[in-house]
Structure 1
Amino acid sequence: MAPILTALVLTACGESKPAVCSDVEALNASVGNLKDVNVSENGLSSLSSDLTQVKSDLNQLRTDAKSQYQSQIDGVTSAVNQLSSSVSTAKANPTASSLAAVASAVSSVDNAFNSLQGAVSSTC
């Protein structure tokens, strides 16, 4: 009986993961793209495009997670909104200071995402 029970448990573990797992994987890739952008005047348009993808992935995660991981998702959302604001400022006035603010905001998004990823890791 024990081998059958073990087989059933192992089979259950192999079942598909919750949607939030694939959402976090997608968000991981889009946040990775943000980190890969060379923050300079010429990189701002690429950063804007990548930011659009991050927002899309984050919205999908918010939908699939419902209220689960809400505080972590809110943290990422807040960091993404700050990055969006910093990018807009840097596009309008690309100074060393505004570009540094963009780089700092990208780092904040990454940190917030890492917190979210840690919270979701027990589910995925």
Structure 2
Amino acid sequence: MLTYDPESAHVLLHDASSALLVDASLCINLEAMHSVFDSSSDRSKNPNVDHSWALQRKSYVWAVGYLERADDQLPIPILPAYLPAPDINPSIFMRALIISPAKDLDIVRLHAALTAMAEVPATPYPI
């Protein structure tokens, strides 16, 4: 996750030179987000709700949702000045249903698995 704009609830997911704009408005309940962490302790009040991804930058997250085409181009969140601008199509975005931290994600193995999947030839089926 490259950026998160709390005002618009837009997340920018980034990999290599490409990025995908994600609408996280369905995932965020601001009241729940503020009540998740008890200020008097480090324990979460509800172990099933984890909004810590919204507070972290340049971390890995799992995002589940569906792709939509925007009628108007969506605004792209402000990018950190030290990063080159990724390739973003502002007319296509993901409407996220769930976003959660990707704890213990091995990105090297994930990329290797995706590369291996691309190398498997398509299976022809009889018509």
- Report the TM-score range of the alignment, normalised by the length of the smaller protein: under 0.3
After TM superposition, the score normalised by the length of structure 2 is: 0.25
Structure of higher CA gyration radius: 1
Q: Normalized per residue, which structure has more strand?
A: 2
After TM superposition, the score normalised by the length of structure 1 is: 0.25
